[in-house]
A and B are shown apart, each in its own frame.
Chain A
């Protein structure tokens, strides 16, 4: 141990401000980088999930639309068949 007391450790032989400024700024920058990288990873996953859900929804709607059209066609052909029968 190079320092006799905790206050001597903080003082850093008179250079305390510069030493702790360096270590503090570095710690903050690195922590921000780590946290933003981890949040960014989850964000990428969520963005893909949102797009995926939108695509699935579109596909369902399209399928529904096609079914509705086919039903409508069937109804009209039935009606015309009835007319012919009359």
Chain B
């Protein structure tokens, strides 16, 4: 049943497959984001309590849920690599970490900029905000571990252990607004499948969310391809590809030949 998946475990096949995906993903991301963001900024109604500051929601919530989604993806990749010794999974985890870190930072910054006018403070050490900050530190730790070792397999293992330990933070972020008293409001979109949100606010949100998700997928594909090349640099297919795509002047080879003739 899973046999169709097997060829994609080959680095060369996944490199070319993700290369074909990128134009489609990025075009769709551009379409969804431009529709969603214009709708969110100019056409969606203002909130009856929060006024136009509510428009921050259209970035804040997609960024926050993607920051957790990317972490979950990274944890699944780390688990796969650890259990089945599947090397490509390490490459994908290393590709996801910086993207996740940026979206966590966006969630924190937009949250602060929304908190200031609504709560009267940029930051408060309550459960939701603190656990999201810890998520940022987990991402930074994973990035640091991936680049701390010359041996990429060892680096993947170390980063994978940190990733898997850090998974405990995900339910804490998700349920922090229910478990503890907090300034942060509860969930409005995914409330038991029945969003407590007006439809003319929900649609632009869905466009923004799908657009950001496609954008994340595009960036992860770009970084995943770099990771594949860096980890397979001695393979013949990489050597051929590098020779064709390098922007460096090809002088040294001809120089060697000319000195040989003298």
Interfacial residues, chain A to chain B (CB-CB below 8 A): 1-3, 9, 12-15, 18-19, 21-23, 25-26, 29-30, 33-34, 37-38, 40-42, 44-54, 56-57, 60-61, 64
One of B111-119, B126-134, B172-180, B181-189 contacting the partner:
B111-119
A-chain residues with CB within 8 Å of residue B55 when the two chains form the complex: 12, 19
Say yes or no: B222 contacts A37, CB within 8 Å: yes
Contact string against A for B residues 134-170, beta-carbon threshold 8 Å, 1 for contact and 0 otherwise: 0000000000000000000000000000000000000
Specify which of A26, A46, A54 lies most central, judged by the most chain B CB atoms within 10 Å of its CB: A26
Say yes or no: B223 contacts A37, CB within 8 Å: yes
Say yes or no: B219 contacts A13, CB within 8 Å: no
Q: A51-B233, A57-B256, A60-B256 are in contact. Are A15 and B117 (CB under 8 A)?
A: yes
Q: Which 10 A-B pairs have the closest CB atoms?
A: A49-B246, A13-B52, A15-B53, A22-B110, A12-B52, A41-B226, A13-B51, A22-B113, A60-B256, A37-B222
Say yes or no: B226 contacts A37, CB within 8 Å: yes
Q: A19-B52, A45-B229, A48-B229 are in contact. Are A34 and B239 (CB under 8 A)?
A: no
- Alpha-carbon separation in the docked complex, A51 to B242 (Å): 11
Contact string against A for B residues 203-238, beta-carbon threshold 8 Å, 1 for contact and 0 otherwise: 000000000000100010011011001100100001
One of B5-13, B42-50, B78-86 contacting the partner:
B42-50
B-chain residues with CB within 8 Å of residue A14 when the two chains form the complex: 51-52
Q: Which of B98, B110, B117, B242 is the one whose CB lies under 8 Å from A45?
A: B242
Q: What are 25 A-B pairs with beta-carbon distances under 8 A?
A: A2-B42, A2-B43, A12-B53, A13-B51, A13-B52, A18-B116, A19-B55, A22-B59, A25-B110, A29-B102, A29-B109, A33-B99, A33-B102, A33-B219, A40-B223, A41-B222, A45-B246, A45-B247, A47-B230, A48-B239, A48-B246, A51-B233, A52-B239, A53-B253, A60-B260
The residue on B at minimum CB distance from A32 is B102
A-chain residues with CB within 8 Å of residue B116 when the two chains form the complex: 18
Interface of B is mostly: helix
Q: From residue B100, how far is it (CB to closest CB) to chain A in Å?
A: 11
- Alpha-carbon separation in the docked complex, A18 to B118 (Å): 10
Say yes or no: A45 contacts B114, CB within 8 Å: no
Contact string against A for B residues 247-261, beta-carbon threshold 8 Å, 1 for contact and 0 otherwise: 110001100110010
Say yes or no: A26 contacts B63, CB within 8 Å: yes
Say yes or no: B233 contacts A56, CB within 8 Å: no
Say yes or no: A30 contacts B215, CB within 8 Å: yes
B-chain residues with CB within 8 Å of residue A3 when the two chains form the complex: 42
- Alpha-carbon separation in the docked complex, A14 to B113 (Å): 13
Q: Say yes or no: is B105 at the interface (Cβ < 8 Å to chain A).
A: yes
Q: From residue A68, how far is it (CB to closest CB) to chain B in Å?
A: 11
- Alpha-carbon separation in the docked complex, A37 to B215 (Å): 13
- Alpha-carbon separation in the docked complex, A26 to B64 (Å): 12
